[in-house]
A and B are shown apart, each in its own frame.
Chain A
Amino acid sequence: QAGLTQPPSMSKGLRQTATLTCTGSSNNVGIEGAAWLQQHQGHPPKVLSYRNNNRPSGISERISTSKSGNTASLTITGLQPEDEADYYCSTWDRSISAWVFGGGTKLTVL
């Protein structure tokens, strides 16, 4: 069972901007922020952003993240066909001493 809440799906057009959200609580996202992972079908997850909003080396500048209260956001600009994937948020929950994930958002690029 997911500890964070993400919308199950989103559809956007080519070259548009997608903003995905991840809602938690003051015990997790509110104090820790959220990491974001991308997963293409049949492949392992790839980290797009760490909880401190830094991108790993090699991650596109079209990716940005932010946080407001207990909700974290991932924004992808200039959508490309290869951005079609599942996106997960994740963070440490201090109340249960556990890493928690959102259920994932399936992004479709039309």
Chain B
Amino acid sequence: EVQLVESGGDLVQPGRSLRLSCTASGFNFGDSAISWFRQAPGKGLEWLTFIRRKTNGGTTEYAASARGRFIISRDDSRRIAYLQMNSLKIEDTAVYYCAREVPGTGGDFDDWGQGTLVTVSS
């Protein structure tokens, strides 16, 4: 069974940093791009970033809201993708989800995890 589990969410003060983890099981992690999304309380879904598989260069793409403050990375040996979040703002408060690229879909993401809550507050 394909499973993605996010962790690392916490209550942090504005300006601080936080690293989220997305731990995968049930599929060949190294063959999949991984993406991060978020959902602020009572709001819609927002894409943040994705990282391609190593055979596609392991390159990354970022939404404008994440570029410059957030960094995605992956450790294929540990089957974990990370989201390093720096200079956090109150408006970064959200549930953060990861998802994997589904083979044969041309780049669509599925198998979302349960999410991890990040609260930015003083």
A92–B46 Cα distance when bound, in Å, is 12
Q: A44-B114, A99-B35 are in contact. Are A37 and B45 (CB under 8 A)?
A: yes
Residues of B contacting A103 in the complex (Cβ-Cβ under 8 angstroms): 44
- Chain A, interface size category, equals 20 to 34
Residues of A contacting B35 in the complex (Cβ-Cβ under 8 angstroms): 99
Main secondary structure of the interface of B (DSSP, over half): loop
- Of the residues A44, A88, A92, A100, contact of B113 by C-beta under 8 Å: A44
A16 CB, nearest partner CB in chain B, Å = 25
A39 CB, nearest partner CB in chain B, Å = 8
- Of the residues A44, A46, A51, A96, contact of B105 by C-beta under 8 Å: A51
Residues of A contacting B108 in the complex (Cβ-Cβ under 8 angstroms): 35, 47, 50-52
Interface string of A80-107 (1 = CB under 8 A from B): 0000000010101000111111111000
Q: Which residues of chain A have a CB within 8 Å of any CB of chain B? A: 2, 35, 37, 39, 44-47, 50-52, 54, 56, 88, 90, 92, 96-104
